[in-house]
Amino acid sequence: MSGKKLIIHADDVGMCHTVNTATIKAFREGIVTSCSLMMPCPWVLEVAEQLKEEEYDYGIHSTLNSEWIYYKWRPVADNVPSLVDDYGYLLRDPLETVKKGLAEHVKREIEEQVKKSFKMGLKPSHL
């Protein structure tokens, strides 16, 4: 058997500046071999620019919740009301998303997250 034997994956990239810088540093130091980006998050543009410059393995983290109390993000897709709270942010509780989220809205949101990555010039290897 040849090729990769172990993948060390960094999660929640794009969520904030410190996660981005730590992930890029971990890539450069050989600590991680893969990461996933949260496309709805405010710092995704910063890390996208860095990932395009390097040959790192990255994918899209299907983001359907915004679990923090005071730090929130909105969906990428328009018109997915079953996925958002009264203020337009993604629902906080994953179980609430399971109960309320319509399959068509989940599909639309994930598709729009992937499309956004392509529009940013990214070439994700996985979802």
Tell me the pTM: 0.92
- The predicted pLDDT at position 3 comes to 74
Among residues of the chain, what percentage have pLDDT more than 90? 91
- The predicted pLDDT at position 5 comes to 83
- The predicted pLDDT at position 93 comes to 97
- The predicted pLDDT at position 88 comes to 98
Q: Give me the residues of the chain with pLDDT under 70, please.
A: 1-2, 4
The DSSP code sequence of 82-111 is GGB-TTSSBPS-HHHHHHH--HHHHHHHHH
Percent of residues in the chain assigned helix, strand, coil, to nearest 5: 40, 10, 50
